[in-house]
Amino acid sequence: MPIRPFLKDAAFGPDAIAAMSATLEEVCKVLEASGRSDVSREAIATTIIALARGGETDPVVLHEMTLSELLSPGKQ
């Protein structure tokens, strides 16, 4: 499932949306494989969108930053 349903009023170019969608899918797989099914898809998408709004659209960096953010103590 792409990230588009979570974008609401956000505006990103097609390359950024593709990177964000790929990151969403990969992070969901990683979290599921690690037993972290408690983190919602919406929470993951929200984190990715916040990072992209901050200017990060590289899919590798988005992936690493998203996991770091979600797996930090005190998060989700």
- What confidence tier does 75 reach under pLDDT thresholds 50, 70, 90? low
Supply the pTM of this predicted model: 0.87
Count: domains in the chain: 1
Residue 4's pLDDT band, with cuts at 50, 70 and 90, is: confident
Instruction: Confirm whether 76 is domain-assigned.
Output: no
Distance CA 63, CA 52 (A): 11
Does residue 16 surpass a pLDDT of 80?
Answer: yes
User: Per-residue pLDDT for 21 more than 70?
Assistant: yes
Pick from 28, 69, 27, 23: which is nearest to 12 by CA? 23
Distances (CA, A) of 61 to 35, 51, 69, 71: 22, 10, 12, 15
23-73 pLDDT tens trace: 999 999 999 998 888 889 999 999 999 999 999 999 999 999 999 998 887
Does the residue 38 lie in any domain?
A: yes
Segments forming the whole domain that contains residue 64: 4-71
